Structure 1
């Protein structure tokens, strides 16, 4: 090339350079295309791998039926690949033969696989293989239901889903038929779902949103069934009388006297000991009487848990809580979970009351209706504002039942919260200190004054008249005609507490017809006390008379009068001599 003349060499070199440049460009372009293809292949492979991993993760979310469908198809794919390798046949011919033999039942597979996929075709195997490779195991379960979740006409139509859920929340028991009528009235005909679609949507939504739906329509049921309850409400209770919970049943009882009544309860969380009190209302008097009985029998609690109702924050309760240094724990409004033990035991009592006293429940005529009445009885008894529950018992009869149930049934039943021990066993086994009330008079502040006159009454020869009943006690003998103060214990309608006007305790008077005490024996005892009191008073008066020497009182009076008379001087009066022959 160097021997050529310059005018020839230059064009040749230019041509060669252009040819080399073109060749290099073509080579570079080919290399770029190959790199691009390789990169695309790697991206597709990674995407497929990610899809398979996601499909495997989604597999765990499938229902059991979907899992079984996917696993059956995967098992057939693995069996199909081994068949092709072992047969050495072309893929098409080998696949056709595999399907023929399988459908004829000549290929052994687990029974559940054949039950799930009794027949198979070449197209199915090919499609399953592609789906498993690109979308993972979950895809083999099929598309059933995938298109409905969030993609149906109710979900995608603006405002339709909100309307359906709004009606459902406002009227929880509304039927799909009624909602369908509302849809037809509010939405264009082209947007109406089918009736079956609406039914499926409601059923699916309620099943998937059970907790939220329950919380909206019935907060109490939500707290009972769903509210988080990690740990135990009594896990930190390690001492007798460490924590008491008290509350009243929310429902109304109409007893044989025609009056509404409620039941007040108090429970010691450590031992689960329980006291129940029947009262006409959930008044401060009823609460105080229940606490008085519990403190006299059990001792003084460290913490008393109540709600913030007026009956639980009365002056009576607060005075005792402050004086005895009891920590008063007020539950926030609408939080029954703050005192779960008394809430739960009320349910136990109501169910037992139903089972043990079926004859006392009203509204039952035949056996079937009896069962229905008993089933709803406990629910209505615990439901505030519900229909009153009727029991053909007098208040004192129900109170007797409550006392017997707490002392002989509940106290001796094993409790899961006590490791199957009974409340009686736990209380009896306690060897630690118990702060007890030594002087019953200390709890007299929990008593309520008798109606009208702030408890003022006059003792008559028949006793103390209250509520058309005479209350009597031996200690009243000798107090006839005197004024006293009468205080009541709401827990016992047969007793009253009598105090003198200075506040000193006099006696516990009873109504014989309410307590079963013999009126004759009570009258004899009072008469004897009266005689003793009167005789003592007479003796004291006689002693006072003796000390005063009253027998010589007349003499002393005359002497005093004489001495007084001698101190009085009169002026001399003019006089004339008087004389006779005899003189």
Structure 2
């Protein structure tokens, strides 16, 4: 190949099209001469990269005509397998050295990076020389160019390595292949293995101790090592305390996730566990999914510690909460009632495995309203992240401004307590370190005002707007509760008894439907003797039950207790014993409340904040959404049941709570009367006692049931006893 080349010859040598060569020649004005009809370009005037590739192509072409070419190819074929194994070892060594290179710092890392850059240009420069079997000449020529600083590098490599020997790159390449890139840093070698790591049994023992006590100190771990070495008969080389401390630090750095999880699993979930993405990205409309949960209130109240039960609409982030003594099936149903009357009926709710949420009463209510249920995995609060985030916003934010705030955890509680000096606690006898002045009712009002006037109008990062605007931006068909009485029926089943679910009873041929020792009757129950039915209280009258079929919730009738229906007997009279105990406790709490009220009622900071937000959003109400009343057969049956009685005025949440409390208190009082009655050694003694009492007074309903049951089960004995007792009474009367 001559020193003057056509565009086609250049293109074939470097592997591009001749058009690309001509275009670059025109752009860079390569010198040329005309040979016939073709242009020929001077080889020594071509770009350096082109000259190297052309030289390599020329060397390969020349090598193929050499007598040694065939012999060399055969030798290469014989050594192919050995070369593959060598390449594999070099690859593994290179990967190990690359990992160590990332750990280098300072001058050692700078030297290694510079040598890698020099090796890269050295290998490219030698290609044509190697092809022509002149590697040594190429190495010497490269050294001359480098020492004259004629090779251009992106970084100032010459300030680190000013000059090289002709065989220096060869030694570096060998080091790179055998020891990896990190060895190019100079006197670099892997850190000497720790004394503990050199002894596998000792290392396993130390890891086991740190697993069980991730916060152990080096002093205590050293003591454990010494003791185990003596008792276990080991022959360990015991490290020093500072050596143990270094090993613990290195182990923690090498296993950060495992140590963080062992030290605090709950904090790991919130801080370390991967939570990329958006947990609500599949939620596309209002009321598609509600998350339900409960949390203890951090605010101490005059009527005792309470819990906050809440639900959040995941799409809009609107929230409904109630403050209740405990998180129970009763309180959850009350919260659902409040939420559904305000937001409508959700399509699905997500609940946890708590017994209150998995109770038969709650699941029965959700089923009756055709609400799907999703249950989270045990101990996985992150699966209800939206309601958990709301509780955190409340407990770590505005609740701290309230009087009676007792801290979110033990550590915070201790900090609050320490704000009162030791001297004050000693000199001011009886003074509390936390001022308690709010009642549960006041706390409920504060939370409702804060949600309505502040929370719903604050910008949320994930939805990129406020809950109020998010709700109004979408038009969704909402399942609406129009008949509150029907909802109350579904939310007020009679208590569970005898292993049966809440609301379920069997119709008896003698006592009708028995609830807490009280019988309810209706002519329509005749065809259902011996069958299970579903019963709900009449929220306005304890003497009435709404009865539905047990299978499809079809309305049957309204069953009544003849003595109690129509409120002929007040609930106060029926629960007199229970109210006496309540009044005594109420007097104690009222006295405490009055003393606290003289100091402060509601913290001024919190009151002023809510008032300010209320003034900003005065008169702002959500846009009405399109609604439907198609809530399923159960709800429709409850609506049909309400149409069989005169409509009464709807009741408030407080009134609903009060009446349910009266019902429960009445049941407890009736049970107390039964428990405090006389005790009998046998049913025969009881029958004898009831027979004599019957002559003196009117028996209670429960006593009549037991008396008649004994007569039916033991007719001959009852007849004989009545005859004997009757004749003895006649003699006594004479």
After TM superposition, the score normalised by the length of structure 2 is: 0.47
Deviation (angstroms), 1:497: 4.3
CA contact (8 A) 1:254 1:390 kept: no
Q: Could you tell me which residue of structure 2 aligns to residue 221 of structure 1?
A: 267
2:203 to 149, 161, 177: 161
Deviation (angstroms), 1:448: 9.4
CA contact (8 A) 1:241 1:270 kept: yes
1:156–1:119 CA distance, 2 compared to 1 (3 A): farther
Q: Find the aligned partners of 1:55 and 1:499 in 2 and give their Cα distance.
A: 77
Q: Could you tell me which residue of structure 2 aligns to residue 299 of structure 1?
A: 344
1:457 to 571, 580, 589: 571
Q: Could you tell me which residue of structure 1 aligns to residue 320 of structure 2?
A: 275
Q: Could you tell me which residue of structure 2 aligns to residue 423 of structure 1?
A: 467
Is 1:203 the counterpart of 2:249? The answer is: yes
Give the root-mean-square deviation of aligned CA atoms. Answer: 5.1
Question: What does the per-residue CA deviation read over 1:355-401, in whole Å, with 9 as the maximum and x for residues that have no partner?
Answer: x617654589xxxx999669xxxxxxxxxxxxxx9674513333233
Q: Could you tell me which residue of structure 1 aligns to residue 381 of structure 2?
A: 336
Within 5 A, what are the aligned runs for 1:396-475? Answer: 396-418=441-463, 420-445=464-489, 446=491, 457-458=571-572, 467-468=582-583
Within 5 A, what are the aligned runs for 1:303-314? Answer: 303-314=348-359
Deviation (angstroms), 1:282: 1.6
Equivalent position SS for 1:328: strand
Q: Find the aligned partners of 1:174 and 1:74 in 2 and give their Cα distance.
A: 44
Q: Find the aligned partners of 1:371 and 1:413 in 2 and give their Cα distance.
A: 32
Q: Find the aligned partners of 1:407 and 1:391 in 2 and give their Cα distance.
A: 27
Q: Find the aligned partners of 2:159 and 2:402 in 1 and give their Cα distance.
A: 53
Deviation (angstroms), 1:265: 1.4
Q: Find the aligned partners of 2:298 and 2:322 in 1 and give their Cα distance.
A: 13
Q: Could you tell me which residue of structure 1 aligns to residue 290 of structure 2?
A: 244
Uncovered stretches (5+) of structure 2, i.e. residues with no partner: 1-71, 130-135, 418-432, 496-515, 519-541, 543-569, 588-649, 664-734
2:102 to 63, 78, 102: 63
CA contact (8 A) 1:276 1:406 kept: no
Question: What does the per-residue CA deviation read over 1:8-47, in whole Å, with 9 as the maximum and x for residues that have no partner?
Answer: xxxxxxxxxxxxxxxxxxxxxxxxxx99997897667555
CA contact (8 A) 2:345 2:479 kept: yes
Deviation (angstroms), 1:325: 1.3
Deviation (angstroms), 1:191: 1.9
Q: Find the aligned partners of 2:186 and 2:435 in 1 and give their Cα distance.
A: 59
Q: Find the aligned partners of 1:169 and 1:200 in 2 and give their Cα distance.
A: 17
Is 1:261 the counterpart of 2:261? The answer is: no
Aligned length: 418
Within 5 A, what are the aligned runs for 1:81-120? Answer: none
CA contact (8 A) 2:307 2:327 kept: yes
Q: Could you tell me which residue of structure 1 aligns to residue 219 of structure 2?
A: 177
Equivalent position SS for 1:417: coil
- Please identify the structure whose Cα radius of gyration is greater: 1
1:83–1:272 CA distance, 2 compared to 1 (3 A): closer
Is 1:325 the counterpart of 2:367? The answer is: no
Deviation (angstroms), 1:300: 0.6
Deviation (angstroms), 1:321: 1.2
Deviation (angstroms), 1:173: 0.9
Within 5 A, what are the aligned runs for 1:349-364? Answer: 349-353=394-398, 357=401, 361-362=405-406
CA contact (8 A) 2:290 2:314 kept: yes
Uncovered stretches (5+) of structure 1, i.e. residues with no partner: 1-33, 375-388, 471-486, 502-583
Equivalent position SS for 1:438: coil
1:74 to 91, 107, 116: 116
2:658 to 496, 499, 506: 496
